Structures are given as C-alpha cells and as structure tokens.
A = this chain, B = another copy of it.
Amino acid sequence: STTGGDGDDNVDVAGAKSIYMVSDGTGWTVEHSVSAALGQFDHCLVDRGCPVNTHLFSGIDDVERLMEIVRQAAKDGAMLVYTLADPSMADSARQASKLWGIPSTDVLGPITEAIASHLGVVPSGLPRGAPGRSFPLTDEYFRRIEAIEFTIKQDDGALPQNLQKADIVLTGVSRTGKTPLSIYISQKGYKVANVPIVMGVELPKSLFEVDPEKVFGLTINPLVLQTIRKARAKSLGFSEETRSNYSEMDYVRDDLEHAGRIFAQNPVWPVIEVTGKAIEETAAVVLRLYNDRKQRCSMPRISKRY
C-alpha cells in the first residue's frame, strides 16, 4: 500500500505521521525494514486511519547533513530510522535525536555488533561506496547479470530451445505473474524461463524434455484472475470483443482447467497457488522448493556462503 514510483510531489497528507529514513548507502536496507514493519500496521494504514509518510535520505555520509535531517525530522514531528556504518555517525544520529526529542532506531548497529562478537572480528565502520573500498567484479556479479539477461530473453515463451539452460522454468496461464516473478527470481542469480499456457497453442516440446524438477506450475483463483485480466485488458486497450473473451468467466475457468490438466499430467511439477501472494512471496515459495529439491536437507533452507 505505497504510492512509490512516480515520486509524489505532494506527499504530505494532513495528519500523517512521518518516518525519516537515513543511510550512508543506498537506503534500500532501511526502506525494506521499515516497509516490513509497516506491514504490522496495515489494519490502520489501509483505511487511512493512520497514514504514514516515509522520507528516504540516502548517501548521507557527513555529520552536517545528518544534523540537518534530524532537525527537520524534529520540526515534522517525525521519527528516525537509520543505517550508518561509521560508529561516530551512528552515535551522532542517536544523540542528536535524543537532544531534539525524536524517537530513533538503529537498524544496522545491533546486527553488526552481534555478528562482530560471533565472528570475533571488528567491523570496518566503512560505508559501502567509501573511498578505498573497491567493488570487485566477482563471478557472482557476472552470474547475476547473466541471469537477468537470460531471463528477459526467455520471457513469454521466447526461445523454447533454451529451456534446458534455465535453472527454473515457470508455467501457467496468462496473468498468473510469470513475468514479474521470473524477473524477481533472476535477480537472485537464477536463470528463469517462463512458458505461457494458452488454450489452442501447443506447448514447446522442450518443456517436457527438461528436468521436471525445475518446472513450477502457477495457479490462481478464477475470480481473482478475472479481476486481474479485466484490469489488464483495459490498460492494453483491448477491443470489447477480445476483452470479454479474455476475461469472461467461462473462458477464465476453461483456461485454468486446461492448465490444471497439464499439471496433472506432470505430477513432478509443484503447482503453486499465487492467489493473494505478492511476487516476492511466490518467489520465496519457488526458491524454498527449488533448494529443498537440490539439497534434500532435513530442515529446508536456502544457504549462501560469504
């Protein structure tokens, strides 16, 4: 329930409370954490009982700008949430907030300290992008970019001859979210291909030739699918006729039943219910299953090495 995107010129709602978020880096970590925490207040955010404005200040690596932001936060009656790698900057944020009487929360410090004593290593205190920190062009970096580029090229059933090169293949009817899901997963370093299931269109042979353990079916509640298709047809400016066919309930049901039969014929493919799930939630389910199948661990997990 954010506005995001277009950068609201006029973001301050009367009576809205403000959250100031400050980072010496990109700000994406603090934004992610605040956004998750705000999920705990959906019941009042949604009906506008307690609208909230967030303001993200990124790349803040000098104490003067930090102080200016804290002062402004105090004026706005805002709270402060920050990630500042330099301990003296983090201290300044804490102390200035106290001085100006605003609540403040350090998102990075507690985890960093816990990891430091776990590893027995002193943290660098250097923000990302600090001079002297060089960004290594690691294999991981190249692999991730390759995964994204692969995934874009395979979108919407393109290049079915390459399915075997994919780590993960998603399949389902139109508007089950295959494209955004593929993209989300690709950014985690997996090559994803997606293959649409369309009545009257033969599926590529290669879909049935690849390792079935990497194929995932997507399904969705017909009413929700209809809603999404109506919105889609409208935004694409489909003609009345195409539109009614594409999003008509009988057609929607037939489409899902047709996909259901294909899924039944391929029982190794897990079928994931996407109704009511955000893209990143479906991604979590896919990657959990994918990793379980690879690792066959007693306790399902996704592991990485740093």
Contact = CB atoms under 8 A, between A and B. Distances in A.
Interface of A: 1-9, 11, 13, 16-17, 19, 25-29, 32-46, 49-59, 65, 68-69, 72, 79, 81, 83, 85, 103-105, 107-108, 110-112, 114-121, 123-126, 128-129, 133-138, 140-149, 152, 155, 167, 177, 179-180, 183-184, 187-190, 224, 227-228, 231, 235, 276-281, 283-285, 288, 290-291, 294-295, 299-306
A295 B6 CA distance: 11
A262 B44 CA distance: 50
Contact of A105 (B2, B114, B276, B290): B114
25 contacts: A3-B304, A5-B144, A7-B294, A11-B305, A25-B284, A28-B284, A33-B108, A36-B83, A39-B128, A40-B125, A50-B119, A50-B121, A55-B302, A56-B301, A57-B299, A57-B300, A69-B299, A72-B299, A103-B118, A105-B110, A137-B227, A145-B177, A146-B235, A149-B180, A152-B152
Contacts of A276: 129, 134-135
B118 A54 contact: no
